[in-house]
């Protein structure tokens, strides 16, 4: 698992774990450890970065308390503690024990001390009024959070945080402008990272965006990453994707298998939460394969968004996502059951928001993933593949690319289509959407049918 620095996982929970400086270990123990109280790796990384402040505050307080204790005394205590830990060196064998302990101590702390000396030199060379990386990163993250989602902020900060941890967060920004060091970092963490070119470029861009922000505040006048250009990839297919990375469309047989499993769980599972989540997944899957809508779009639908025979998507991933999607005749009974005489409220009742951005679709994604995995479907079969399935069905039915773009919320480059009236557009879309047909045993949710029978 990548980027687990200062983190460990115990059971299903992530913990912050960082080694205390040597002078603290006699009293505080070897490690500062604290539960991050989350199972989500991305949330754990965000909380880890916040925990750095608490760790450094505790170290500073310990430094104030122990300032009068000579370094040699602190070292002697540490050596005494290590003395009996070498093989065949029992406690009390002072001569052999101390020599081995001293060698252990030097080997153990040589790299850390070298890094500290390097950071000290960088601090000493910097301007007096040069702000530290720590203060700038906190301000930059706050600035990003004003206009981006939590997930986007994490993506923006990930590579910058790795860079800052490597240099040392207390190092002044004016000591971080070496182009040679920037190139070395990019070579190790980006160029040779094994990811595709597009991801490499995005990671480099996050470093440039940070320095663009620092330059906009007139703190520095140059960007050490600004001159770095990644080797250009010629042609869209010049870079071979790893096997099984495409999101595959689902066959009718595979869809029937997944829907049948959701149906079984919704009726037979002992836990009520599992039954309800399976029922929701059953309904959302049917809507997805008959509309091509994204999971977030479906889970955000309100009852009032399902009128006049169409779904009204009021916001989405892009501006083109805001649209109307005709309700396929095959799922009209399902939508009626979901609305159930209500005038308002979520179309899919009982969704619990989750994830870093607290999206109502987050837990549905987890449930869908667990069930399809239990059925033996690999990583290339995902919920988003249902959207691909719908598009594939439309293409097979000879629906025009312009109509497909309009229905699924892709940006259309055909200006002529925008000259249609709203009525003409929705009717053309309705006719196109009805061409999508599946060979499924049922297109209704059995759990909902049972509720209405009662």
**pLDDT digit string (tens) for 408-418?**
888 765 545 55
Q: Which residue has the higher pLDDT, 210 or 176?
A: 210
* pLDDT confidence of residue 245: 45
Average pLDDT over all residues of the chain: 79
413 touches 439 (CB < 8 A): no
Range scoring the smallest mean pLDDT among 44-53, 241-250, 419-428: 241-250
Neighbour count for residue 127 (Cβ, 10 Å): 10
What's the CA gap between 404 and 425, in Å, rounded?
Answer: 12
Q: Is the pLDDT of residue 46 over 90?
A: no
Helix pair 94-125, 71-82: axis angle to 10 deg: 130
Sheet-wide strand order for 7-10: 7-10, 13-19, 31-35
- In the structure, what pLDDT confidence band is assigned to residue 453 with cuts at 50, 70 and 90? very low
Show the CA angle centred on residue 317, arms to residues 315 and 323, nearest 5°: 45
pLDDT value of position 121: 52
What percent of the chain stands above pLDDT 70?
74
Per-residue pLDDT band at 238 (split at 50, 70, 90)? very low
Distance between CA atoms of residues 410 and 320, nearest Å: 6
Domains 128-234 and 252-453 share a fold: no
Would you state the pLDDT for residue 300?
92
* pLDDT in the model for residue 94: 46
Instruction: Give domain limits for the chain.
Output: 128-234, 252-453
Alpha-carbon span 70 to 84, nearest angstrom: 23
pLDDT range class, residue 445, cuts 50, 70, 90: low
Q: From the CB of residue 360, how many other CB atoms can be counted at a distance below 10 Å?
A: 20
Class of domain 252-453: mainly alpha
Which residue, among 289, 266, 315, has the nearest Cα to 448 in the 3D structure? 266
128-234 CATH pick, 3.30.2000.20, 2.60.40.420, 3.50.50.60, 1.10.150.130: 1.10.150.130
Buried b (16+ CB within 10 A) or exposed e, 165-195: eebbbebbbbbbbeeeebeebbeebbbeeee
Of the candidates 33, 43, 42, the one whose C-alpha atom is nearest the C-alpha of residue 8 is 33
**Confidence grade of residue 454 (pLDDT, cut at 50, 70, 90):** very low
Q: Are 158 and 206 in contact (CB under 8 A)?
A: yes
Average of per-residue pLDDT across 296-316: 91
User: How many beta carbons lie within 10 A of that of residue 325, not counting itself?
Assistant: 23
pLDDT on residue 303: 94
More confident residue, 275 or 115: 275
Nearest to 81 by CA among 50, 106, 102: 102
Instruction: Please give the model's pTM, rounded to 2 decimal places.
Output: 0.57
Q: Which of 88-102, 287-301, 326-340 has the lowest mean pLDDT?
A: 88-102
Express as a percent the part of the chain with pLDDT over 90.
35
Find, among 64, 67, 62, 68, the residue nearest to 26 by Cα. Answer: 62
Question: What integer pLDDT is reported at residue 10 of this predicted model?
Answer: 83
> Mapped to the 3 state alphabet, what secondary structure does the chain carry?
CCCCCCEEEECCEEEEEEECCHHHHHHHCCEEEEECCCCCHHHHHHHHHHHHHHHHHHHHHHHHHCCCCCHHHHHHHHHHHHHHHCCCCCCCCHHHHHHHHHHHHHHHHHHHHHHHHHHHHHHHHCCCCCCEHHHHHHHHHHHHHCCCCHHHHHHHHHHHHHHHHHHCCCCEHHHCCCHHHHHHHHHHHHHCCCCCHHHHHHHHHHHHHHHHHHHHCCCCCCCCCCCCCCCCCCCCCCCCCCCCCCCCCCCHHHHHHHHHHHHHHHHHCCCHHHHHHHHHHHHHHHHHHHHCCCHHHHHCCEHHHEECCEEEECCCCCHHHCEEEECCHHHHHHHHHHHCCCCCCECCCCCCCECCCCECCHHHHHHHHHHHHHCCCCCCCCCCHHHHHHHHHHHHCCCCHHHHHHHHCCCCCCHHHHHCCHHHHHHHHHHHHCCCCCCCCCCCCHHHHHHHHC
Cβ(176)–Cβ(132) below 8 Å:
no
Burial bucket for residue 439 (CB in 10 Å: 0-12, 13-18, 19+): exposed
Backbone angles phi, psi at 94, to 5 degrees: -60, -45
Placement of tokens 């249609």 in the chain:
420
Beta bridge partners of 14: 9
452: pLDDT strictly greater than 50: no
Mean pLDDT of 10-29: 78
Mean per-residue pLDDT, 305-313 = 91
CB 403 within 8 Å of CB 429: yes
């Amino acid at each position: 698992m990548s980027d687990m620095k200062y983190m460990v996982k115990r059971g299903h929970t992530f913990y912050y774990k960082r080694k205390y400086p040597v002078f603290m270990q006699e009293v505080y123990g070897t490690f500062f450890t604290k539960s991050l109280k989350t199972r989500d790796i991305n949330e754990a990384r965000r909380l880890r970065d916040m925990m750095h402040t608490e760790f450094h505050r505790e170290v500073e307080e310990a430094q104030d308390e122990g300032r009068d204790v000579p370094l040699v005394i602190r070292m002697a205590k540490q050596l005494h503690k290590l003395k009996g830990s070498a093989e065949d060196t029992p406690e009390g064998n002072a001569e052999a024990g101390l020599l081995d302990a001293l060698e252990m101590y030097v080997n153990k702390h040589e790299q850390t001390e070298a890094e500290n000396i390097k950071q000290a030199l960088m601090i000493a060379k910097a301007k007096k009024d040069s702000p530290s990386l720590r203060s700038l990163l906190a301000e930059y993250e706050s600035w990003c959070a004003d206009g981006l989602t939590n997930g986007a902020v994490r993506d923006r900060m990930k590579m910058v945080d790795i860079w800052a941890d490597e240099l040392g967060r207390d190092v002044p920004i004016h000591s971080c402008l070496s182009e040679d060091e920037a190139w070395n970092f990019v070579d190790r963490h980006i160029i040779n990272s094994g990811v595709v070119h597009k991801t490499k470029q995005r990671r480099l861009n996050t470093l440039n965006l940070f320095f663009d922000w620092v330059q906009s505040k007139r703190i520095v006048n140059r960007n050490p990453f600004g001159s770095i250009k990644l080797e250009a990839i010629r042609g869209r297919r010049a870079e071979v994707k790893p096997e099984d990375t495409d999101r595959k469309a689902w066959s009718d047989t595979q869809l029937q298998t997944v829907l049948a499993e959701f149906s079984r769980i919704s009726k037979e599972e002992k836990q009520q939460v599992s039954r309800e989540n399976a029922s929701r997944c059953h309904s959302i899957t049917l809507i997805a394969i008959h509309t091509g809508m994204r999971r977030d779009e479906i889970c955000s639908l309100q009852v009032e968004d399902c009128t006049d025979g169409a779904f009204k998507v009021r916001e989405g991933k892009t501006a083109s996502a805001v649209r109307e999607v005709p309700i396929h005749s095959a799922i009209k009974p399902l939508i009626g059951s979901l609305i159930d005489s209500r005038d308002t409220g979520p179309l899919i009742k009982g969704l619990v928001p989750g994830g870093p951005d607290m999206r109502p679709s987050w837990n549905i994604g987890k449930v869908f993933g667990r069930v399809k995995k239990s059925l033996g479907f690999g990583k290339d079969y995902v919920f988003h593949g249902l959207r691909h399935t719908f598009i594939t069905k439309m293409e097979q039915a000879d629906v025009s690319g312009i109509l497909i773009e309009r229905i699924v919320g892709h940006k259309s480059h055909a200006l002529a289509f925008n000259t249609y009236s709203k009525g003409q557009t929705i009717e053309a879309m309705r006719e196109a959407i009805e061409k999508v047909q599946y060979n499924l045993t049922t297109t209704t949710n059995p759990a909902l049918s049972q509720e209405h029978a009662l």
